[in-house]
Structure 1
């Protein structure tokens, strides 16, 4: 048994390469997979996985290929995964944040790095691949429709939050609260204009797998209109009503608050409620003791979103890549794609205190190059 294992969080692409090499028709590829496995064992590295990895392994268009990749994971003799007790099954970034929230509530004075250190022993489970996936890994194939729906939702989230079509984040809240409400035909024209703007932006810059940008934009703006109905007397009433659904009140707004500040706070509090319930902590206790800057994974997701390069196409996979990068706070080595690596590089330069949470982060085209990159 490894007394002090070193955790290595592989990118999903590298896991897939490794799995495919294992069953390759070409002997040299199979040999590369075997050499990699011996290298991991010799240097005490244990692959660290999450449900995000499993979903991507299972999401291949050909079910037989997906089944083979799941069997590969189940066949690993030793693997670690994010999965808090008592269930201990493979978890997601929500699992990370839930355990960090639990730790922050248990130790209200703990710093961000101390919260990470308190959460880590409960978060990382280890054992054979069959303990993570079960004795019949093919059973996970039943979740393929769920994984596909989540991938589609990720494309939608990125399309509306990271393409930058309508950016009012730096606008002062006071200006929004004192603005004039549009009504009737004036409102309809504005909604139509915004729908067209979103549709054009999605078609030009969002994930190419989005089949109907017009329909997606129309559905989104329809939801916005429904949320605003019935229209109150003033813009302030409408804004405060929307913020209240995420746990933000007028008392949270300061003279210097921007729209982006309040949207971030609302998103945090909405996710805090989910994480608290998952951790068995009362939402009121979490709200009392937990500030956004004390939660490592939340801080990393928000910072990476700001620092990722603005590429011509913003793919849905960007969301998962950001979540997987959070493993860098718990792993000794984390492999990421080129875009995420650049985001981490910028993060290290712009936010060194947050970056200090991270282990080594590397990018490489092929899994078999890892030994050379690490110099071991």
Structure 2
């Protein structure tokens, strides 16, 4: 009678912990895939003497030097120095997702063995610390604030040569983009550093009035040079001394911005003569000769009185053309000015004047002609 091979399997797979167990029997190899309330685990048994294989999964956050790890960063998991899984960061500062976890493979015999995480090849600090079989969420940090746990995944030289020379970096040249700025403006400071020692990374410091203001880390090989640039804004008036490392580069003067001041540069009238009731267009170029933005009122003045106004907003050293339209009803000479500019004269004639005579001269002339006719 054939042996019922499924009876024993059914008994072993009905644990309530996993919920669902799928069993496939293939040529003496037993494979079970368990899915349930915890992290998914896969088992395989190739014989009575072999340990089952498991797949542990993780998701979490990852930082490099205190900043979220950029997209493309590789997170790798190792057990006893052997790579067991890796994943690429697809969203800055996070690795893995509910649909795509970092899968770490191992055997049942390795349960409880520490798992080491590497971030782009550099050993990371895991919080909480992780052992195989725990799975879950973990925070990884590399650089500032990290204290890597012991492991074999670090790419640092485990036995550096104590006699190897360290870097010997010197600032050999430098310059300031300007030596005078207004409040709110910046100075670009460029320095050339040279390494006369061994390979290494060193800080290059920008000093303002003798105090370290900004630091840049530079990695140089023996004999290499590199340009380092600092951008330093200034928000207070005064003078400051600038240096990079031991090299003094000069003094920067920071001055306040000149207050806004509006001037009328040019004034033009569309006509010098016109008839009473006709209009004349007046244009003026207004300039802010100061260094701060402001709104000012520009006035059209005719015969000493304000005829029209325009509000104009200008940044420092900015200009704009302002237009007015004016008419005169009374004949004669009229003065036109914009703001404090020199006045322009416009002559207005009477369209009803007789043959070149205005009303004032035409009436006496007609009376005189009438008297002369009567005498004859």
TM-score bin, normalised by smaller chain:
under 0.3
TM-score (norm: length of structure 2): 0.17
TM-score (norm: length of structure 1): 0.17
Q: Which has the larger radius of gyration?
A: 2
Which structure carries more helix by proportion?
1
Which structure carries more strand by proportion?
2
**Relative contact order (alpha carbons < 8 A, sep ≥ 6): 1 or 2 greater?**
1
